[in-house]
Amino acid sequence: MSSKGRLVLYVGPMFAGKSSHLIKAAAAHERVLALKPGFDTRDGAELVSRDGSHFAAQSVRQWPSQADEYDHIVLDEVQFMVAPHYEGDIVAELQAAKLRGAIVTVGGLDSDYRQQPFEIVSKLMQFADDIIHLEARCHTCNDPARWTAKTHETGRLLETGDQELYEARCNAHWCLPEKP
């Protein structure tokens, strides 16, 4: 067992630049396995950030067998890697990769649009060696924002979307969406 493995976790609301940080982490190494959840069909086989950067990534619904060959693994949108969209225990799999010596860099939403924690991200926070909390800018007042709000209720907790469905909000301006 190597001692150099690390789990680095970027958390925050939508629009906080998580993907941009992950793409920078991926681009800093020559051999990197970049992963995204199969559930997230936006942007095809790439991690894409809103600042225009991108990095080739595999969409996965289970842990890829070739992951053991990589010393650097980058994974975005980890909150979507839950049943029935993902077959396996992503927390245990990332932890195992770290323990065999890989540098694992993960991004995810810490809270859903109801201000409730994504359990899988809470669990990862327990094992992470570094946790970087990113903030967005409040859609209403431009203050630092740590919450994601939905612009209208769709009845779905796990749902990909962009500015047509989600906004970053500060403490004062976060609210639940109105019922349809």
Contact 90, 123 (CB under 8 A): no
86 belongs to an annotated ligand binding site:
no
Is 138 a binding residue for Zn ion by CB under 5 A? The answer is: yes
Is 137 a binding residue for Zn ion by CB under 5 A? The answer is: no
The binder of Zn ion chosen from 58, 59, 140, 151 (CB under 5 A): 140
Say how many residues touch Zn ion, by CB under 5 A: 6
For this structure, is 153 an active site residue?
A: no
Q: Nearer Cβ to Zn ion, position 21 or 146?
A: 146
In a 13 Å sphere around the CA of 138, the CA atoms on its Cβ side amount to 13
Shortest distance, position 20 Cβ to Zn ion, whole Å: 22
Is 9 a binding residue for Zn ion by CB under 5 A? The answer is: no
Is 28 a binding residue for Zn ion by CB under 5 A? The answer is: no
Is 123 a binding residue for Zn ion by CB under 5 A? The answer is: no
The binder of Zn ion chosen from 28, 45, 141, 157 (CB under 5 A): 141
Q: Nearer Cβ to Zn ion, position 36 or 150?
A: 150
Is 56 a binding residue for Zn ion by CB under 5 A? The answer is: no
Our CA angle for 153, 159, 161, nearest 5°, is: 85
Is 173 a binding residue for Zn ion by CB under 5 A? The answer is: yes
Q: Nearer Cβ to Zn ion, position 106 or 149?
A: 149
**What are the residue numbers of the active site?**
77
Which positions touch Zn ion (CB under 5 A)?
A: 138, 140-141, 143, 170, 173
Q: Which residues are annotated as a binding site for substrate?
A: 166
